[in-house]
Amino acid sequence: MIRTSTTTHYAHCPSPIGELLVLGDDQGRVTGLYVEGEPGAPAVESGWRHDPGASRPALDQLDAYFDGRLTDFDLELAPEGTAFQRQVWAALSEIPYAETLSYRDVAGELGRPRSSRAVGQANGRNPISVIVPCHRVIAADGTLGGYGWGLERKRWLLDHEARVAGRTLVSP
């Protein structure tokens, strides 16, 4: 078996929620998006290549998203995870802009109505946040629930989308 080596490309993206770290592979696919310094965010490794050009589509679309000019990302994604996690992340990507679903709703859409907790765990392991909109998943009672980057950032993202879409804000 021949193995091809894959170089991780990275770039930094300033945003209203903090400095983002965008990761990609040799095929130009996004493999990760993190707020630098937050739990779960990887440290830049010595073998990685700083290459904003390779990340240009993601950087441009993130800028447009945060400026309110983009509501649907159109990027090649390659998140690493289990088959179930990838199913959950695909379902998250189908949640319309400025709308929310509960963990129970997502579990139901996957045909696994009793797996709300597992959906929550997969949601929390989403390596491409914002682009794969895990912030659009809330608790069944309508509360925000948890968010790896903190509830203030989740609220900001939901309020941002509501403002752009002309909807009611999450927070006053």
> Is residue 13 annotated as part of the catalytic site, yes or no?
no
Candidate list 11, 33, 62, 134, residue with the active-site label: 134
**Contacts for 163 with CB less than 8 Å, ≥ 6 apart:** 68, 169
Residue 21 · residue 10 · CB < 8 Å: yes
CA pseudo-torsion sign 102, 108, 110, 112: positive
Q: How many CA atoms lie within 13 A of 89 on its CB side?
A: 22
Helix extents (H) in 31-150: 56-66, 83-93, 103-109, 116-124
Backbone angles phi and psi of 91, in degrees to 5: -65, -40
CA distance 138 to 56: 31
Name the amino acid, one letter, at 90: A
d(CA 73, CA 16): 18
Residues classed as catalytic: 134
